[in-house]
Structure 1
Amino acid sequence: MHVTRFDEAPTYEAPNHFDMRCLRLQGKEAGPSTQMWMGMSQLLPDGHTTLDPSPVEKLYFVVEGEVTLVGAVDGVPQRATLRALDSCRFAPGEARQLINESNRPAMVLLVMANMPPASPA
């Protein structure tokens, strides 16, 4: 068993994340995990990510507040506003964006697979 206390969770910088604070709850620098890792993102009002694809599946769970998720499948945009206890899955390769369009902070839990190590050239 490996416990990470929220107050002791390490922060990490995620590219293309703005007005957000990201905490690692499990995996990577927060502790051992062979298949996945879990993080918590705190989004300030107007906090957002850019619309980018990811090579791995991502699961988002809104803990507090309201977050608008934008996706694009085969170039067709999709948009959904999630509130506390709502969740969303983005498939591998699917572009996704998170936006806090409200005037209150929001907290989102993220679970995703560990990236496989790069193969030697």
Structure 2
Amino acid sequence: MNVTRFEEAPEYFPPNHFSMRCVRLQGHEAGPAESLWLGVSAIEPGGYTTSDASPVEKHYVVLEGEVVVVTDEGEAILTAFDSCRIAPGERRALHNRSRSPAKILLAMPFLRPEQC
């Protein structure tokens, strides 16, 4: 078993994330994992990501607050315990348009060598 305490979770700095603090809960520098990694992003009011795609799917769960997920097809406002899946190659942006901080959980498979 690999336990990561939230207070001790290693911070990471993904590109194109603004007014956000991102930590890894499992996988990568947070410990061993075979198929996916987990992270949490704390998004300050006005915080956002740019619209980008990745070659693997992403699953998001809002833990607190309100996060707007924007894709080329439209946008959805997610609140606590709402979730969404972003398909491989689908562009997405995250926004905290509220006046309160938000937290979102990310589950994402590791990139295979041919996807790098």
TM-score using structure 1 length: 0.92
Structure 1, unpaired ranges of 5+: none
- Following superposition, the deviation at residue 117 of structure 1 comes to 2.6
Structure 2 unmatched runs, 5+ = none
1:13-24 correspondence to structure 2 within 5 Å: 13-24=13-24
Q: What RMSD over aligned residues (CA atoms) do the two structures have, in Å?
A: 1.1
TM-score, normalised to structure 2, is 0.96
Q: Give 4+ residue runs of structure 1 displaced > 3 Å after superposition.
A: none
**Whose radius of gyration is greater, 1 or 2?**
1
Q: Does 1:103 align with 2:95?
A: no
Distance 1:6 1:50 in 2: 26
Q: What is the alpha-carbon distance in structure 1 between the residues aligned to residue 53 and residue 114 of structure 2?
A: 18
State the identity as a percent: 57
1:118 Cα deviation after fit = 5.0
Name the SS of the counterpart of 1:53 in structure 2.
coil
Matched position secondary structure for 2:29: helix
Local SS of the residue matching 2:45: strand
Provide the C-alpha distance between the structure 1 equivalents of 2:75 and 2:7, rounded to a whole number of angstroms: 33
Instruction: Look up the match of 1:89.
Output: 85
Cα offset for 1:78? 1.3
Q: Distance between the aligned counterparts of 1:80 and 1:15, measured in 2?
A: 23
- How many residue pairs get aligned? The number is 115
Structure 1 match to 2:47: 47
